[in-house]
Amino acid sequence: MTKYQRAKQTIKAMNQVSILNFQKLEIDFIKHKKRFKKVSEKSIEAYITTFKYLIEFFKDTDIENLDLENFEAFQNFLIEKKLSNRTINKHIAYLKNFLDFAKSRRFISENRAKNLEMLDESEQKKKRKELIQNYSDKEIQALLTYKFDKTEYQKIFYILAYTGMRISEVYNLTQKDIEYDKEKNIYYFHIKNSKTLSGMRKIPLHKKLLELNIHRSYPKFNISENAFKKRIINRLYKAIPQAIAESKNVHTIRGTFAQKATSLHPDKLHIIQEILGHAKNHNEHVTIDIYAKGYGLDTKKEIIDSIDYF
């Protein structure tokens, strides 16, 4: 090999090292996120999905050579895949996050996707709400009486149906989070950890949950949150097969609980909001959370015990 050939090979190798494509960025980004353990497995999977689309579209292109028009073309590529505007916006948000990470590490000079406009979600969101109906009493009955492979699944669905809790909240609760008010003779779920102030709340156990002895034996699964959610949705569709075609899911149980509670107690919407962990406006926070320390357990217990699907 001549000196010229060796020099040419060296320059080629240096250029290859300096190139940052989305395959290389994925490795660094995911490694960084896993190292600090600040995100869930579900988030990691979402990042990987976005990287898959980026690699499919841009292939080995050096990210430093991409501009806003290239990223707009990527956005159109996602539109052509018939993804919803909401899903596309999530991918674009992740893309901007990836490039911010690359810039902070000086892998690239700037984030040229930062000014990429998001798609309008309002119309699609409105159509989704119109299409998705809550569960009927008959469907909830089918769910709660279904013979699952483990009784723990039945208990989980009872908790979801009679509390209106989010599936992530149900997963993160433990036996220690079930407390007892001696004075009022009420067992309640005490959600202490939440991203929002309104998410931290006390939810009395429905009489049906007491009959199932959940206050003494809370169902727990030694699996990841993501695996837990997949198992629950799988069992849900076994019990209510038609829910798939109707775009109903686990979260629809929460909507069903809310609808039933508001129809039974239209004059107690603020209390129902607190049970569900919905955000209140500023004045309500001041009045209820600071001075009254939330609505009374007995008041919430009355509302919850009135919920009946049978």
Q: Which amino acid is at 119?
A: L
pLDDT reported for residue 194: 81
174 and 84 within one domain: no
Domain boundary among 93, 122, 151: 122
Question: Does residue 242 contact residue 126 with C-beta atoms inside 8 Å?
Answer: no
pLDDT reported for residue 157: 98
Tell whether 310 is covered by a domain: no
pLDDT reported for residue 130: 55
Q: SS3 letters for the chain?
A: CCHHHHHHHHHHHHHHHHCCCHHHHHHHHHHHHHHHCCCCHHHHHHHHHHHHHHHHHHCCCCHHHCCHHHHHHHHHHHHHCCCCHHHHHHHHHHHHHHHHHHHHCCCCCCCCCCCCCCCCCHHHHHHHHHHCCCCCHHHHHHHHHCCCCCHHHHHHHHHHHHHCCCHHHHHHCCHHHEEEECCCCEEEEEECCCCCCCCCEEEECCHHHHHCCCCCCCCCCCCCHHHHHHHHHHHHHHHCCHHHHCCCCHHHHHHHHHHHHHHHCHHHHHHHHHHHCCCCCHHHHHHHHHHHCCCCHHHHHHHHHCCCCC
Give the tens place of pLDDT for each residue, 109-118.
999 999 999 9
Residue 162 domain boundaries: 137-305
291 and 157 within one domain: yes
Q: Which amino acid is at 53?
A: Y
Name residues whose C-beta falls within 8 Å of residue 15's C-beta, 6 or more positions apart in sequence. Answer: none
109 and 237 within one domain: no
Domain boundary among 94, 122, 150: 122
Average pLDDT, the chain: 88
22 and 149 within one domain: no
pLDDT reported for residue 294: 62
pLDDT reported for residue 128: 57
Is residue 129 over pLDDT 90?
no
Give the tens place of pLDDT for each residue, 153-183.
999 999 999 999 999 999 999 999 999 999 9
Rounded to an integer, the average pLDDT of 72-86 is 94
Residue with the two structure tokens 């959610």:
229
207 and 75 within one domain: no
Is residue 2 over pLDDT 80?
no
pLDDT reported for residue 292: 41
Q: CA-CA distance, 256 to 254, in Å (whole number)?
A: 5
Is residue 287 over pLDDT 70?
no
Structurally, the chain folds into a number of domains equal to 2
Give the tens place of pLDDT for each residue, 10-57.
444 444 457 899 999 999 999 999 887 777 888 899 999 999 999 999
Tell whether 130 is covered by a domain: no
Tell whether 18 is covered by a domain: yes
pLDDT-based confidence at residue 7 (cuts at 50, 70, 90): very low
More confident residue, 13 or 122: 122
Q: Check which CATH number belongs to the domain holding 68 and give it.
A: 1.10.150.130
Give the tens place of pLDDT for each residue, 191-201.
998 878 888 99
